[in-house]
Amino acid sequence: MISALKSADTKVEDKIEAIKNVGYSKNIRALDALVGLLDDANAEVRSAAIWAIGKYKSSDKVNLLITKIKDPEESVRTIALKTLAKFTSNPEILNAILRLLDDEDPKVRKMVLESIVEFESANVIDTIIDRLDKEEEKDVKLKAVELLGGYMAKDQKASKALIGTLEKASEFDLQMAIVDQLAKIDPYIKEFLMLSLKGRKKIFIESEDVVSKEAAIDLTYRRNSPLVMKVRGFKEEVESIKRYIEFLAEKGQLVNGG
């Protein structure tokens, strides 16, 4: 198998099969050969080599995978992050990954955010909140919003951060994403925000022929987004929702229904 890994004449599918076999067997003699495949011309081979190296749980070799987070192929970057996320109890690896949250490539920043939910670190929520506050790229901000939504039932800091961002947000997509996450606490929240806006602007286009009341509210809001954006930025509504969430938290009733 080791000779198959090293030979330039080995077919791609055979090389990948050999990589899988040594990964499962953790044959220490094959480890250097796997490292040599991290720069293989074939993305599938690189991905397989990353996976196999992770199986060995060798910190010095795993460190080599950090560079693969910026591989030209997204599939390779993804497997590198997923593999490294299993070793984030190692401060060196964790810090190297976190530094990539300031990478110039928004795709890298987004992928790092997606991976840190696996971190064995107490400050994951703080890290996501910090990125949401600093981030300018919409897709990355939306990913941060989505991830914080998953933490609302565990830590009140998540809902507070979402509300704080909502108070400042002017982009329609970001507003809607935050409202959708807050609605996991209670669907009433979304209904309240949409209906209160609708009630102040009678010229809203009504939504008909939709399957549910919630869908009607959502479609009405989306059709009128340019108008909604000018309606005092949710200020009054957000203050009410903030008080409501604080009340639920005090009563111990924050349950994530998503």
pLDDT one-digit tens code per residue, 92-141: 788 888 888 998 889 889 988 988 887 766 688 999 999 999 999 999 99
Quote the percentage of the chain above a pLDDT of 90. Answer: 25
Number of domains in the chain: 1
Do residues 139 and 110 lie in contact, with contact meaning Cβ atoms separated by under 8 Å? Answer: yes
| Confidence grade of residue 211 (pLDDT, cut at 50, 70, 90) | low
pLDDT one-digit tens code per residue, 68-78: 988 989 889 88
Q: In 3D, which of 61, 101, 100, 99 has the Cα closest to residue 83?
A: 61
CA–CA distance, 149 with 241 (Å, rounded to integer): 15
- The contacts of residue 253 (CB under 8 Å, 6+ apart) are none
Q: Which domain holds residue 207?
A: 154-258
- Is 137 domain-assigned? no
Do residues 29 and 2 lie in contact, with contact meaning Cβ atoms separated by under 8 Å? Answer: yes
- Is 63 domain-assigned? no
- Is 174 domain-assigned? yes
> Both tokens of residue 62?
């795993």
- Is 238 domain-assigned? yes
Calculate the average pLDDT of the chain: 79
Do residues 101 and 86 lie in contact, with contact meaning Cβ atoms separated by under 8 Å? Answer: no
- Is 56 domain-assigned? no
Triad 69, 71, 74: Cα angle to 5°: 85
CA–CA distance, 158 with 147 (Å, rounded to integer): 9
- Is 187 domain-assigned? yes
Is 0.75 topped by the overall pTM? no
- Is 257 domain-assigned? yes
| Confidence grade of residue 253 (pLDDT, cut at 50, 70, 90) | low
| Confidence grade of residue 220 (pLDDT, cut at 50, 70, 90) | low
- Is 112 domain-assigned? no
Stretch 6-19: mean pLDDT: 88
Residue spans of alpha helices (H) in 105-149 = 106-116, 124-134, 138-149
